[in-house]
Amino acid sequence: MKYVSSTEMRILELNSQFLGVDTLTLMENAGRAVTDEIAKRLNGVTGLNVVVFAGLGNNGGDGMVTARHLASRGARVVVILAGDPERIRTREARENYERLANLFHTVDIIVFRPERVNMIRNLCKKADVLIDALLGTGLKGSVREPYKTLISIFNESNGLKLAVDIPSGLDSDTGEVLGISTRVDFTVTFHAMKRGLVKREDLAGDIVVADIGIPIEAELIAGPGDLVLSLKPRIPESKKGDYGRVLVVGGSEVFSGAPALTALAAQSVGVDIVIIASPSPVTNSIRSFTPTLIVHDLEAKYLDDRCVDKVMKIAERVDAIAIGPGLGLRDETLEAVLEIIRRTPREKPIVIDADALKALARELEVVKERNVVLTPHAGEFKILFDVALPMDYRERMREVERKARELKLTILLKGPWDVISNGYMTKVNITGNAWMTVGGTGDVLT
């Protein structure tokens, strides 16, 4: 069975939007799917009294779409909104509220107030169907008011009960009840099964997985969802270094700009501290790029075995290492690269690119089962693995995944479409363009 976590689901939604299938479309499909399931179980909905408990987020938006579709099929619908419409949190849910508010003849909307509790209880006593669309898979922390009260009213009511995506108050990943949860006869969840549902079928009832139109490509691409949700949120109490310390080992007499471009790219994505270790001929040139870079002079004309101890000393103070940009191809340099990799703790992340990849052609086993990312283009891939890659991205994906699995590391194959694989999950980056032929682009990627 295919499972999806709450984070993975959010990634898929953002990637779908990037592909042109926006959240409003997914919400419409979700509401229709819930309506279809109700109609199937009850042989239609005409004349049924339905109460929809709608939250102020996208789960509530799904419920509002469901309410609209039920009303269009002849049900008598009351929507209990968990707060003032002005507090609806997302554009999509707000738009569906506005659509629903126009249905003055077939849908009644009641905004929750503490003084309306008895009225809501009485409405629920007459309901044939009660729909929980209060809280979705994004819930973090214990359920708070007014949701606690609404969940209690929902649970004490009779009638057929169902949850939209997940019973409110249930952690979709762990199955933990976050203070209080609805208990339903069945749950219509979206796209794929959630592990928390399987663990708490006593709360979720029968579980139906509904397709809401998320493209297969949303799982295949490395898209905005993968990027946005991988970034660590910055908090006011942060201090220097909380968002990463990176060491770039690179540069030579000919290529002074390569390590600087790598370092500047790291800064641009939010790394707090970026250190460059470079041979003497290029350190002053690198320092001239910006005063925010920390540049260590390796006190040698090029990277060789005399530099290794100094590099390792610096490496102790960082969270990740990038090695290769502009190093050159001297035998002594390639041997020094291998020694640095050998002496780096296996769990420390290393990105190996450019000239450092040539060193691996001498001893590929040195990176096996390490926390390493290799970033070759097709030519470097052939040098490393003696495999000429075809142009078809599907065949490239299979080959990159196979090699990543053999070495138990991650490979990012650069090309018109980058292929990224850790040996078990493989994605493609389809954002490449012809301007990426400009010199230094690969160093920025590193």
Q: What is the pLDDT of residues 344-389, one digit of tens each?
A: 999 999 999 989 999 999 999 999 999 999 999 999 999 999 999 9
Structural domains in the chain, sorted by start: 6-226 (3.40.50.10260), 234-445 (3.40.1190.20)
Q: Which of 272, 274, 273, 294 is nearest to 283 (CA)?
A: 294
pTM comes to 0.89
Q: Is the pLDDT of residue 326 over 80?
A: yes
Do 77 and 107 meet the contact criterion of CB atoms below 8 Å apart?
yes
What is the mean pLDDT of the segment spanning 144-166? 96
pLDDT, the chain, mean: 93
Q: Model confidence over 208-228: pLDDT tens digits? A: 999 999 999 999 999 999 988
Q: What is the helix, strand, coil percentage profile of the chain, to 5?
A: 40, 20, 40
Return the pLDDT at 86: 96
Q: Is the pLDDT of residue 435 over 90?
A: no
Q: Is the pLDDT of residue 239 over 90?
A: no
Distance CA 201, CA 298 (A): 61
> Position 309: which residue type?
D
Q: Is the pLDDT of residue 199 over 90?
A: yes
CA-angle at 250, arms to 249 and 255, nearest 5°: 170
Longest dimension (CA), the chain: 85
Q: Which of 126, 128, 206 is nearest to 167 (CA)?
A: 206
Q: Model confidence over 272-303: pLDDT tens digits? A: 999 999 999 988 888 888 888 899 999 989 99
What is the mean pLDDT of the segment spanning 36-48? 97
